[in-house]
Amino acid sequence: MAGPDDRPAFALLAALTNYHFDPDNRTEPFRPKMVFGDRRSLVPTDMMVEQITELWQVAPSVMNLGLRARIADVVWFLQRRRMDMAELAIQSYCECVISVRDGTATQAHGNESPWSMQSVMLLVRAASISHATKWSLASSDNLRSLVGSLVQAAYDRVQPGDFCRIAHLDLDHKISAVDQIAQSAEQLANHLSLAEQPDQRMDLWKIAARAHRIQRNQTESDRCNTSAAECLVQKSDQSVGSAMLQSSFLHDAITSLRGIRGTGARRAELEAKLRAIQPTIREEMGEFSHEIDLTEIVEHALATVRGHSLPKAILALAKCDKPPTPAVIRKTAVEHISSHPLQGMMPMQVYDYQGHVVFRSPGSGGTPEESEHHTRYMMCFHRNIARQLAVAGAINPIRRTIADEHPVSMDELIAVLENSPFIPPGHVHIFARGMFHFLAGEDIEAASVLMPQLENSLRHLLLLKGIETSVTDDFGIQTEASLSILLNPNGAWRSKIDEILPPRYAHEIDLLFLFAGGPGLRNQVAHGKIPAGEFWDHNMVYGVWMILHLALAPLITHWEHVETLFVNRTGLGK
C-alpha cells in the first residue's frame, strides 16, 4: 500500500499522464494540459535530471503499455542519446494498438478500434520517433508491418474511414507500395455500399489523388480530384433545405475544379446552378435558446459537457451564449441613461492598452449626434458586463472541461468544422488550429489565429450569395472591403450581411471589434497593442468564442450529420 513517501513518485506519474499529447509536433509533442494567463500545467522540460534518470531505470518494468510508452518516450525526448528508450517507446506504442486489435485492451472512453484516431495518434508518434532515429531500430520494422496490416484489413472489411486514417500515415512514411494504396482507395470509392456516402467517397478519392501525385502522375491525380469534387456536388444535392450549405458545397466544388484542365464546361454548369441557389439564402444561422438560472450558471454549463462526446461538448460550447438583438441592447442602454441622468451628463473617455485616448463621449445632453454617441457607449458598457458573465459562467468552464475530458486533436476538430459554410475553402485547418489553442487556454495563439479570419469569412458569406466584395479603382487595382467597410450601416454590404446573418451578429461584431468606445479588438490586435496578460480578458475570450460560434452555428440544425461525419473521420464512437 502506498505511503506518504510514495507521493512524489505518484505526482510525477500523474504529471506524465496529464500532458496534452500532440504527436504531429516533432518539436513539442507533450504540451501543457491547460494554460491560463501566466500559469500552465507541467511539461517534460520541468523535470529534473534525477527524475529523468529514475524514469529511465523503471520504464522497462512498467506493466501498463500506455504508461510504459509515455515514460520511455518522455525520457528519449529529453535525452536523445538513450536509444533504448526510443526502441521501447516505439514497441510499446505498437503493442498498445495490437492489444486493442486483439481485444485484450481498450483505450480511453472504451474505444475498441485499432483504426481509431486514438490508435493513429500512437502510431504517428511511433513513426515520428522512427523518423528521428532514421528507421534504424528493430521496433521500427514492427511498426511498418503493423501499419501495412491495418491498411489491408480496413480495405478487406470495406471500412473507408479506417482505411483513410491509416493510409495517410502509410503515405506519409511510404510504408506500403504507393500504387497499391491508390488502387485500393479507388476501389473502395467505387464500392456500391458507399454510393450515398459522398463524405467517405471524397476522402478516398483524395487519398488516391495524393498517392498518384507522389508518383508524379498528374493526369491520374487530376482524375481523382475531379471525382472528389463531384462528391461535393452530391453533398450539395443532399442538403436541400439549406441554401447556405448547398451554396457552400457548390462553391467548394467549383474551386476544386478550377486548377484541373478540361473542367471548364462542368464549372460553368455548376456556376449556373450556384447562381440559381444564391438568392434563396436567408438567415440560416439558426435561432436557438435555452433558459439558464443565473445563480447556477456554471453548474448548468458543466452539465452540458461532462460525460458527453467531443462533438456534443463542442455543440454545448457553441450554444452557451448568444448576443441579444440590437433593439434589446439599445433599450437597456436608454433605460440606464434615463435612470441615471446625472451620470449620463458626464463626459467619458476610452483608452487603449497603451494609454492613448481613442474615444470621447460628451454625454447625453448635447446634440442628437452626441447623444447617439453616448448611447452607443452605454450599449458597449452593458454588453461588457454581459460578456464577462458569459465568459466566467459558461465559456471558460466549458472549454476547461472539454480539455480535461478529451484528448483533443487537430483531426478531430477538422472533422467537426469542415462543412461549415462560414469557413472559406482552405481555411478549415486555420479555424481548427485556433479552436485547438482556445480549448487549451492558449488565448494569445487563439486570438492571433482566429481574429484575422473574421472579415474574410464575412466576405466569403457574401460571395456564397453572389455578392462581390472587392472595389476596382481607376488603375484597375482591386481592393477587398475591410471589416469596417463591410459593417458600415451606410455602405453597400451591411444590409446584405443582415440578410445572411441575423442582425444581432453584425451589431455585436461592430460593438466588440470596431466601435472605438468598446473593446475595439480589431485595431488592438492588428496593431499589436495588447500586452500578453490581456489576451485572457473576457472581451478577448468572447471575441474568439464568437468567431467559433459563427463557424459552428450554421451546422447546429444538422448536428446529427456532424456527429456521423466525426465518427467516420475519427473512428471514435458517439
Is residue 409 pLDDT above 70, yes or no? yes
Look at residue 298 in the predicted model and tell me its pLDDT: 63
**126-171 per-position pLDDT tens digit:** 999 999 999 999 999 999 999 999 999 999 999 999 999 999 999 9
Report the distance separating Cα 72 and Cα 53, nearest Å: 11
Model confidence at 229, in pLDDT bands (50, 70, 90)? very high
In a 13 Å sphere around the CA of 357, the CA atoms on its Cβ side amount to: 6
**277-329 per-position pLDDT tens digit:** 888 776 555 544 444 444 455 666 677 677 788 999 999 999 999 999 999 99
Q: Of the given ranges (126-140, 163-177, 221-235, 352-366), which has the lowest mean pLDDT?
A: 352-366
- Grid cell, residue 152, equals 489491408
Nearest to 85 by CA among 60, 115, 121, 117: 60
Exposure letters 344-364 (e unless 16+ CB within 10 A, then b): beeebebebeeeeebbebbbb
Is residue 426 pLDDT above 70, yes or no? yes
Please give the model's pTM, rounded to 2 decimal places.
0.81
Q: How much of the chain exceeds pLDDT 70, in percent?
A: 88
Contact assessment for residue 525 and residue 391, using Cβ atoms and an 8 Å cutoff:
no
**381-406 per-position pLDDT tens digit:** 889 899 999 998 899 999 988 888 88
Report the distance separating Cα 437 and Cα 324, nearest Å: 27
Look at residue 17 in the predicted model and tell me its pLDDT: 78
**Distance, C-alpha 290 to centroid of its chain:** 24
Look at residue 419 in the predicted model and tell me its pLDDT: 92
